[in-house]
Structure 1
């Protein structure tokens, strides 16, 4: 059997980042992934899955050497962020308040993965098994035996579960989760816009769920429509012309004319692992926590997991005490973010008049306070 210090299950954005980071530390690393990505072609259609990448996530991607490669493909920086329930009462953030040239970047998830994967060839101590899947883990006190569907039998001192919200690593390690369904779906729509709006991302709230605009390269954007499962399925079943008419009716008029290019939907679930460490298995990203995507913080929380792991493990021997420190640091912060977004979701999803008055008064107050806005941005951007 081949021995590794770390075996990472899952090569999404978080899995590839943590594998690359541990390899950069000089550890023997294998990453296992069942899906092989196609190479980047400049004129290929935009992917449906995109993420708003914070400044802290950018710093991590720079640290592990992937950022320049990502920038050479396609990214869309944004300078302004606006949110509102009533158009005359908006909460506006601008990068200038923080002395930054941009607040963050909107990037297709696949672009981030490809940028990370391209760095793998620099490290002889980093191996990828793809296409392949985890089959079973045999747990021992000093290491774990990992069995893959390809027939490979491996030994790892530690297994990192970066295999998403339905994590097999989490299941095999007998780590339970607390979870509930929001009974809400999210429709992602890639569009071509008539107007150029590429320096701003915005979100406005309705009683049935938020509507969001995420700028992409050129005159392209990702629209996100949150609503009941039945309503989203109805929208998804429409042809492009019908859906375009619905968007024009239910999205702000400043969107301008659009052309629908692609669409897809998924259900929304909040979950949190009761612990991040058990049986020499460690959870990161969606395997450990999922949140409502209304604030775009899910992937940034995952990258914070990676940053924490790499920081506390740098130039030291990895042991259970170290991973317990990671669990203590990140579980509290992730729970704080989850609860904050839950408050936001519940607060804006209610039509009770006193609550509507209170939340809009809060928007007006926050927008008038430079100090509060700077503190909120500092936390959201990870600065």
Structure 2
């Protein structure tokens, strides 16, 4: 694996713009197919970041765990960076919880809460295990233009330090550069979507109680409150509320935030301290198309959904899995063959992500308001969920990716 911003103009099978969790996994998948890959990423953290306080965490379901294991990525995730959970609880404030358990579907666990940096770095560790020159990585550069013909894509970058212009050519360009994708913008792919009324506050807490293996979510009139367990004495609390309220909360000291948590969250398992915080808006975006010529979008570049059920990165990993499987047996230099495969990818993944977005929106609209009629409906649904085991199992199987 070659790193650095001093690579000269070359031709690659695939150029991936964006080397985060999804982009790095995409690179690992394609390198295993003996494709020559270039990853363009603004900044790649080193392993020292894993010793810092965790803040950005993703819920990885069983299907994603299985796929990352097949890629060889899973084995590089350290035990202190991930926390297994075998139960998931949800309830309306002052009502009986619905508890989903791994034993309901004959599994040992439902998934893991994992630091985002650990997922990203694990993919690079696996890339480091590949043969020399199978993958190159370039950093400290800005994507400035994309041009394509029927035979190839040309990608132009500008070096942040030297202001030098670099051009690479490839048979396929993959945009994995997130919700504000430059690849999507430069190829004139539009989006549809909206911003939700609520924002999200993420609080990392240092706990004095043992590691929990249950993640839970309580629905309150102002928005859900959730608990995400981590290892190494940390957990993350998720607080949904209107933008004005969260803007005030984020200005508070950690001690003041702790007092707010004690007042407004369900009781935690013991003593804790707030040690880190971050807030972000909630948005839904769907690219109008996932492909354009020899350019294809994966992950948040193609779709962002409400994170209420923690499915975002799992959808991205599924993009990677489907695209990689379709590319494995073809010659990507052949325009007609590549076009047919990319269209197949778009048909499969766009339909699935739209269905997931619709499901999350329905979930959000049902549980993120205080209208009397809606409260009655969701209370009835939660009561039914506790009574009908078959329905609980079907919901749970969908949540874990099966």
TM class by smaller structure: over 0.9
Structure 1 CA distance, aligned partners of 2:12 and 2:158?
Answer: 18
Partner residue of 2:183 out of 161, 165, 169: 169
2:251 equivalent in structure 1: 237
Counterparts of 1:61 and 1:277, CA distance in 2: 24
> What does residue 116 of structure 1 align with?
123
**3-state secondary structure, aligned to 1:154:** strand
Query: Are the structure 2 counterparts of residues 317 and 222 from structure 1 closer, same or farther at C-alpha, using a change threshold of 3 Å?
Result: same
- Aligned equivalent of 1:208, options 222, 238, 241: 222
1:349 deviation in Å? 2.1
2:16 maps to: 8
Corresponding residue to 1:96 among 103, 106, 120: 103
Q: Give the structure 2 partner of residue 68 of structure 1.
A: 75
Q: What does residue range 180-195 of structure 1 map to in structure 2 within 5 Å?
A: 180-195=194-209
Alignment of 1:1-383 (within 5 A): 1-40=9-48, 44-72=51-79, 74-121=81-128, 122-123=130-131, 124-150=133-159, 151-318=165-332, 319-383=338-402
User: Is the Cα contact below 8 Å between 1:40 and 1:73 reproduced in 2?
Assistant: no
| Conserved? CA contact 1:179–1:272, under 8 Å | yes
Runs of 4+ in 1 over 4 A off after TM superposition: none
Please report how far the alpha carbon of residue 197 of structure 1 lies from its aligned counterpart in structure 2 after TM superposition: 4.7
Cα-Cα RMSD: 1.4
User: Against the structure 1 CA distance between its residues 70 and 333, is the aligned structure 2 distance closer, same or farther, given a 3 Å change threshold?
Assistant: same
Contact kept, 8 Å, 1:46 with 1:108, in 2: the verdict is: no
Relative to structure 1, the CA distance from residue 229 to residue 339 in structure 2 (aligned partners, 3 Å threshold; closer, same or farther) is same
Give SS of 2:381's match: helix
**What is the Cα deviation at residue 45 of structure 1?**
2.5
- TM-aligned CA deviation for residue 253 of structure 1: 1.4
Q: Which 10-residue stretch deviates more, 84-93 or 261-270?
A: 84-93
CA contact (8 A) 1:208 1:227 kept: yes
Unmatched segments (≥5 aa) in structure 1: none
TM-score by length of structure 1 reads 0.96
Unpaired runs of 5+ residues, structure 2, are 1-8, 160-164, 333-337
